[in-house]
């Protein structure tokens, strides 16, 4: 049994980790970290776990936790994981960090977009970007896995094969993303009240959202050169789900739907959690809810010479906790899909 500790277990991503790990046959949770609810029963805060979790929440003490666990998940705001991690801790446990602290290789880019000083830049070189489908082998032997952001997982997986295969011009890439509200977290903010979100759609963080450099860094890797993209997130009145609609000019007007399909199949053909949809089918968030799948569909538009890619995932599963479990499975030599095979829930 892998002993898991969660720092930040009472946020939405942390609680989703609890849901997944509780049902995982090879794991037990040994630490429910939550600075806000110390000594309170976890199941009092998340009533869905009533009678399934008996533990109380504990403070964010990574050193103490490292003594009791094999893996630590940090589902906390940026900056916390980097401020806590030490060589001593890394000798004892693996870390899967759901925050942004170890996602960007260039510390200056991190400090510019996040407005924070990085407290552990010495670990940036060894940290592995935990997008399992792209970095599976490096993840297996990592000490720190930087679990990707929700928007970024969906955005990168959408465009990666087409850039890698030279089918689209990366500089024309425009990513219009739509997210359910659980992505905004459980903090008590007026902007996230029911009556403010319901019956509304809005863009936010236009041209300035922090997931932009993360997308650019990974897609630059596919392009073999620096890539700049437009990324616009939107808030949608639903609980879960991210839909990415991405637009890019084909490098050749004659490129066909078949060629695009072949590129996706080349990279994702054997992937368990990426479902390449049938021709003409658009991705919809309802078909992935509660599951670790990413659904990808696309359409070539000969009128404009563009491809329109649509991808959907559950932001709390493949966009956060599910991917973290997938990374944990890789780190401990388990079946990569263990604990993640639940079919999507609809309606």
Question: How far apart (Å, rounded) are the C-alpha atoms in residues 170 and 212?
Answer: 14
168 lies in the binding site for a copy of itself (CB under 8 A): no
256 lies in the binding site for a copy of itself (CB under 8 A): no
Pick the closer one to a copy of itself by CB: 64 or 193.
193
Pick the closer one to a copy of itself by CB: 135 or 179.
179
Radius of gyration of the chain from its Cα atoms, rounded to whole angstroms: 20
Determine how many CB atoms are found less than 10 A away from the CB of residue 76.
25
By CB atoms closer than 10 A (0-12, 13-18, 19+), residue 95 is buried
Pick the closer one to a copy of itself by CB: 83 or 220.
220
Pick the closer one to a copy of itself by CB: 157 or 243.
243
Give the DSSP per-residue string, 120-144: -GGGTTT-EE--HHHHHHHHHT-SE
Kindly state the smallest distance separating residue 228's Cβ from a copy of itself, in Å: 6
Judged by CB under 8 A, which of 1, 23, 64, 337 binds a copy of itself? 23
Question: How far apart (Å, rounded) are the C-alpha atoms in residues 144 and 71?
Answer: 10
Please identify, among the stretches 69-77, 119-127, 145-153, 196-204, the one whose residues bind a copy of itself according to the rule CB under 8 A.
196-204
Which residues in 26-55 contact a copy of itself (CB under 8 A)?
46-52
Judged by CB under 8 A, which of 26, 176, 257, 338 binds a copy of itself? 176
Judged by CB under 8 A, which of 207, 225, 254, 333 binds a copy of itself? 207
Question: Annotated catalytic, 150?
Answer: yes
Pick the closer one to a copy of itself by CB: 287 or 332.
287
Question: How far apart (Å, rounded) are the C-alpha atoms in residues 150 and 175?
Answer: 14
Question: How far apart (Å, rounded) are the C-alpha atoms in residues 321 and 118?
Answer: 24
Q: 127-166 mask for a copy of itself (x: CB under 8 A)? A: ----------------------------------------
DSSP 248: E
Which residues in 92-121 contact a copy of itself (CB under 8 A)?
none
Judged by CB under 8 A, which of 70, 214, 217, 289 binds a copy of itself? 289
Exactly one of 57, 81, 132, 150 is catalytic; which is it?
150
Dihedral angle over CA of 37, 42, 48, 53, nearest 10: 170
Determine how many CB atoms are found less than 10 A away from the CB of residue 222.
20
Judged by CB under 8 A, which of 156, 157, 223, 229 binds a copy of itself? 229
Chain centre to alpha carbon of residue 36: 24
Determine how many CB atoms are found less than 10 A away from the CB of residue 72.
27
Catalytic residues: 150
């Amino acid at each position: 049994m892998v002993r898991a500790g969660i720092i930040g277990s009472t946020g939405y991503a942390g609680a989703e980790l609890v849901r997944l790990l509780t049902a995982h046959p090879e794991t037990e949770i040994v630490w429910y970290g939550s600075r806000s609810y110390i000594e309170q029963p976890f199941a009092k805060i998340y009533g869905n776990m009533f009678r399934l979790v008996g533990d109380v929440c504990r403070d964010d003490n990574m050193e103490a936790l490292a003594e009791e666990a094999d893996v630590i998940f940090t589902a906390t705001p940026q900056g916390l994981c980097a401020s806590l991690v030490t060589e001593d801790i890394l000798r004892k446990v693996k870390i899967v960090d759901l925050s942004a602290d170890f996602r960007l290789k260039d510390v200056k880019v991190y400090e510019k977009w996040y407005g924070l000083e990085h407290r552990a830049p010495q670990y940036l070189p060894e940290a592995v970007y935990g997008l399992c489908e792209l970095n599976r082998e490096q993840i297996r032997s990592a000490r720190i896995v930087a679990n990707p952001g929700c928007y970024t997982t969906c955005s990168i997986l959408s465009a990666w094969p087409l850039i890698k295969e030279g089918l689209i011009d990366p500089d024309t890439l425009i990513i219009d993303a739509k997210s359910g509200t659980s992505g905004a977290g459980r903090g008590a903010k007026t902007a996230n009240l029911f009556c403010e979100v319901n019956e509304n759609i809005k863009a936010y963080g236009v041209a300035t959202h922090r997931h932009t450099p993360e997308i650019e860094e990974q897609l630059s890797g596919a392009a073999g050169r620096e890539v700049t993209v437009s990324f616009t997130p939107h808030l949608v009145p639903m609980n879960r789900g991210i839909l990415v609609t991405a637009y890019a000019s084909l490098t050749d007007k004659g490129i066909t739907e078949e060629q695009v399909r072949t590129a996706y199949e080349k990279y994702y053909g054997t992937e368990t959690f990426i479902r390449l949809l049938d021709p003409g089918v658009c991705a919809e968030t309802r078909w992935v809810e509660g599951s670790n799948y990413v659904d990808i569909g696309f359409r070539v538009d000969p009128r404009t010479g563009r491809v329109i890619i649509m991808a959907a995932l559950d932001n709390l599963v493949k966009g956060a906790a599910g991917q973290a479990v997938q990374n944990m499975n890789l780190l401990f030599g388990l079946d990569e899909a263990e604990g993640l095979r639940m079919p999507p829930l609809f309606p």
